[in-house]
Amino acid sequence: MKYRIKNKLESLPYREYMGAVDILPEMLEISQASFQRYLSAKVDDDVSIPVEELIILAEFFGCRVEELLNYKPKQKTPKKILKPNRYAIIKKFNLVK
């Protein structure tokens, strides 16, 4: 799974689990179907949860946002982001490690 939301839910006592499944979509202002997509999203799926919603979920579960991710987001280096001449200037002035 792409997110650990389902794991967090399953760790709750049954009554809390049932309540959370009902209330979380309302808190996130999404449909039950969208919430179910979040729960079942695989790492390679295009489904992604907006950061604002991840923050709400993290607060609900009492954890950090990173603890809800079941994958390591792709990181881009300045070299990949910037045009080559800009990267050379940044490197020249020691602005990148």
Res 92: pLDDT: 73
Distance (Å, whole) CA 6 – CA 10: 6
Distance (Å, whole) CA 19 – CA 25: 11
Q: How many domains does one find in the chain?
A: 1
β partners of residue 3: 69
Distance (Å, whole) CA 51 – CA 59: 12
Hey, what long-range contacts does 76-80 have (CB within 8 A, 24 or more apart)?
none
Distance (Å, whole) CA 40 – CA 4: 10
Q: What is the mean pLDDT of the segment spanning 24-53?
A: 96
43-95 pLDDT, tens per residue? 999 999 999 999 999 999 999 999 999 987 776 666 665 566 666 666 777 77
Q: What is the mean pLDDT of the segment spanning 32-40?
A: 97
Res 54: pLDDT: 97
Q: Taking the model in full, what pTM does it have?
A: 0.74
Distance (Å, whole) CA 59 – CA 7: 15
Give me the domain span that covers residue 52.
1-97
Has residue 96 got a pLDDT over 70? no
